[in-house]
Amino acid sequence: NAVHGAINVISPDPLGEDLTRLQLGAGAFDRYSGTAELRRRGIYAALHGYSDGGYRADSGVDQLKAQLAYGWSRGNSSVTTRASFHHLEQETAGFVQGQDAFRDDDLRRTNPNPDAFRDLSHFVISSEVVHRTDEGSLTVTPYAIASDMTFRLHFLPSQAIEETRHVAVGALSSWQRTLGPDTELLAGIDLE
């Protein structure tokens, strides 16, 4: 959910210990969340749902995230394949204008742009292949991404709707070697 940056998310290892977890939450402003996770025999599955009515008028958000992963390891080689999906429906809110508007309890809960929204669907599938030797470790990760977003540009006079679609395939690769207790060599090529 990084708006102007990137977040490195490290997903749970599907080869970890067995896991069964269910978390439910509720809070102010019609906020509800739920997460279910299961890990068995090299398979990891997770589903996360979140709904928030927002503290401002017409500013709620609903989102669903899902991940399915499979891990395999034998000797010096391992493969981890992951598929993840994210769907977001957000009613965005514009800036409240006026002298000291933030001090006015009633005004700051209003939404000058009640028709503003952002809807997003995002799918990623990747497969990380790792081979370790005494000389170092080679990792190759082919992937495919598909994104689709519709967004009202409520901050422009036109209030235009932007539709963005993106499909990409690529591969990340790296070779890593430890040269000493405080020195490591890492080289790679990424293509998209």
For the segment 28-79, what is each residue's pLDDT rounded down to a tens digit? 889 999 999 999 999 999 999 999 988 887 888 999 999 999 999 999 999 9
Residue-level pLDDT at 108: 78
Residue-level pLDDT at 82: 96
Whether the pLDDT of residue 5 is over 80: the answer is no
Residue-level pLDDT at 176: 95
Name which residue leads in pLDDT, 119 or 100.
119
pLDDT classification of 94: cutoffs 50, 70, 90? confident
Name which residue leads in pLDDT, 166 or 115.
166
With contact defined as beta carbons under 8 Å apart, do 179 and 187 qualify?
no
Residue-level pLDDT at 165: 95
pLDDT classification of 1: cutoffs 50, 70, 90? low
With contact defined as beta carbons under 8 Å apart, do 54 and 116 qualify?
no
Q: Which helix (H) or strand (E) holds 145?
A: strand 136-152
pLDDT classification of 116: cutoffs 50, 70, 90? confident
Residue-level pLDDT at 2: 60
Residue-level pLDDT at 142: 98
Structure tokens at 141: 């990760």
Residue-level pLDDT at 89: 92
DSSP 105: H
| Range from 7-11, 73-77, 143-147, 185-189 carrying the lowest mean pLDDT | 7-11
Give the C-alpha separation, 147 to 24, whole Å: 28
Mind listing the pLDDT tens digit for each residue in 124-156?
A: 999 999 999 999 999 999 999 999 999 888 888
Give the C-alpha separation, 158 to 185, whole Å: 52
Whether the pLDDT of residue 8 is over 80: the answer is no
What is the model's pTM?
Answer: 0.80
Name which residue leads in pLDDT, 114 or 177.
177
